[in-house]
């Protein structure tokens, strides 16, 4: 049927819109695409500048390493969360899955399982938790918010049950080395892990058919279905990926804390969601960039770090964190930039008339 293609005349008004409109719309298009990203980096730089100004300890190698290491767990969670939010869903269970991951790691090691096998087993368990989320959402048609809320509770309860004591210590040096203390080419392993995860996520989102289909599903699920995309399959895969990444984050957390406990990771799901939306993704789905979610994590972590350095107690920290989330989302995705510029052009219309 290539005849169909070639037989269409190449004429019939090729795209030649008036130059002014094409230039302006192109400018507007590229500006819109660049804005959220550049604003985010500017926000991060501004926060770093503030940190430098208020604390002498802030811009030190040691502190930077602390911030980045602390961020690595949430970055890994946020990337899984990003893909789920990209499809128009949400995964509230990642904090619980992370906790379950630490518990299962500790338990299997305690039982004498080799470290490598333990890692694989933990990731499989977490994948199953994600898979169940996906199945609830796709086959049982339960809204993602509710399905993953239920899983959050169920997984947490499950962790308590299998844990049976308050916490389980981890003494296996291989695990601690691999996910916390070790380093490669001078980069600490958890940082290396999150960089690899972030880069792979960015490539998948931008260059693969799977990534493309997630943008399509989030943007318009019915049009995606009618175009023959494997909507159900890809949604299930996405929730499974989120589960696996929560498990990976759990391995990092378990190695850093050298223990497994169902109390680890409480509220992490909200940190991950906050980072994704600060990173400019829309909870309606179909929009965003995984690297922006990473920047979102760093914005939030850096602010906490600065507040710790200057000795702000944890309660005011929460208030300030909330305010920062609102401000960042307003600027990056709620059209705040346009509204502010609109406000000024309305107040001072002379510039346009001139």
Residues binding another protein: what is the number (CB under 8 A)?
46
- Minimum separation from the CB atom of position 84 to another protein (A): 18
Answer whether 286's CB lies under 8 Å from 280's CB.
no
- Minimum separation from the CB atom of position 13 to another protein (A): 4
Choose the binding region for another protein from 25-33, 141-149, 256-264, 296-304 (rule: CB under 8 A): 25-33
Instruction: Determine the Cα–Cα distance for residues 220 and 222; give it in Å rounded to an integer.
Output: 6
How many CA atoms does the CB half-sphere of 35 hold within 13 Å?
18
Partners of 169 in beta bridges? 259
338 in contact with another protein (CB under 8 A):
no
173 in contact with another protein (CB under 8 A):
no
Instruction: Determine the Cα–Cα distance for residues 281 and 27; give it in Å rounded to an integer.
Output: 22
2 in contact with another protein (CB under 8 A):
yes
Answer whether 101's CB lies under 8 Å from 130's CB.
no
Q: Which one among 50, 230, 321, 336 touches another protein, defined by CB under 8 A? A: 230
Nearest-5° Cα angle at 244, 242 to 248: 115
9 in contact with another protein (CB under 8 A):
yes
354 in contact with another protein (CB under 8 A):
no
Answer whether 215's CB lies under 8 Å from 286's CB.
yes
Q: Which one among 3, 62, 347, 350 touches another protein, defined by CB under 8 A? A: 3
333 in contact with another protein (CB under 8 A):
no
- Minimum separation from the CB atom of position 320 to another protein (A): 32
Instruction: Determine the Cα–Cα distance for residues 337 and 332; give it in Å rounded to an integer.
Output: 7
- Minimum separation from the CB atom of position 2 to another protein (A): 7
Scan residues 183-222 and list those touching another protein (CB under 8 A): 207-210, 212-213, 215-216, 219-220, 222
Instruction: Determine the Cα–Cα distance for residues 297 and 197; give it in Å rounded to an integer.
Output: 14
Nearer to another protein, 225 or 321 (CB): 225
Nearer to another protein, 86 or 303 (CB): 86
15 in contact with another protein (CB under 8 A):
yes
Residue 281: CB atoms within 10 Å: 30
Strand (E) or helix (H) holding 187? strand 187-188
Nearer to another protein, 181 or 339 (CB): 339
Q: Which one among 37, 258, 287, 321 touches another protein, defined by CB under 8 A? A: 287
Answer whether 159's CB lies under 8 Å from 262's CB.
yes
- Minimum separation from the CB atom of position 161 to another protein (A): 40
Nearer to another protein, 89 or 190 (CB): 89
Answer whether 91's CB lies under 8 Å from 144's CB.
yes
Q: Which one among 26, 171, 181, 339 touches another protein, defined by CB under 8 A? A: 26
Find the radius of gyration of the CA atoms of the chain: 23
Nearest-5° Cα angle at 58, 57 to 62: 75
Nearer to another protein, 218 or 247 (CB): 218
Partners of 168 in beta bridges? 260
- Applying CB under 8 A, which residues contact another protein? 1-5, 7-15, 17, 20-29, 207-210, 212-213, 215-216, 219-220, 222-230, 286-287
């Amino acid at each position: 049927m290539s005849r169909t293609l070639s037989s269409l005349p190449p004429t019939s008004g090729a795209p030649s819109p008036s130059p002014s409109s094409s230039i302006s719309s192109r400018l507007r298009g590229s500006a819109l695409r660049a804005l959220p990203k550049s604003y985010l980096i500017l926000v991060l730089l501004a926060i770093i500048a503030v940190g430098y100004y208020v604390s002498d300890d802030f811009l030190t190698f040691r502190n930077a390493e602390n911030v980045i290491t602390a961020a690595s767990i949430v970055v890994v969670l946020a990337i899984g969360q990003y893909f789920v939010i990209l499809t128009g869903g949400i995964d509230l269970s990642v904090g619980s899955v992370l906790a379950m991951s630490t518990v299962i790691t500790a338990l299997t090691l305690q039982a004498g399982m080799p470290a490598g096998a333990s890692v694989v087993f933990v990731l499989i368990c977490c994948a199953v938790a994600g898979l169940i989320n996906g199945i609830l959402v796709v086959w049982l048609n339960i809204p993602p918010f509710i399905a993953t809320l239920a899983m959050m509770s169920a997984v947490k309860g499950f962790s308590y049950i299998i844990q049976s004591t308050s916490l389980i210590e981890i003494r296996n040096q291989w695990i601690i080395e691999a996910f916390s203390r070790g380093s490669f080419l001078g980069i600490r392993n958890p940082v290396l892990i999150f960089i690899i995860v972030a880069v792979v996520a960015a490539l998948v989102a931008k260059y693969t058919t799977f990534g493309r289909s997630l943008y399509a599903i989030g943007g318009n699920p019915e049009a995606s279905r009618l175009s023959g995309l494997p909507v159900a399959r890809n949604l299930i895969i996405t929730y499974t990926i989120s589960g696996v990444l929560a498990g990976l984050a759990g391995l990092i957390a378990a190695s850093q804390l050298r223990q497994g406990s169902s109390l680890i990771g409480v509220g992490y799901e909200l940190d991950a969601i906050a980072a994704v939306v600060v990173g400019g993704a829309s909870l309606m789905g179909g929009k965003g960039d995984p690297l922006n979610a990473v920047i979102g994590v760093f914005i939030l972590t850096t602010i906490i770090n600065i507040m710790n350095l200057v000795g702000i107690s944890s309660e005011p920290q929460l208030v300030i964190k909330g305010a920062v989330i609102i401000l960042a989302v307003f600027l990056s995705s709620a059209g705040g930039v346009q509204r502010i510029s609109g406000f000024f052009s309305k107040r001072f219309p002379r510039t346009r008339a001139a």
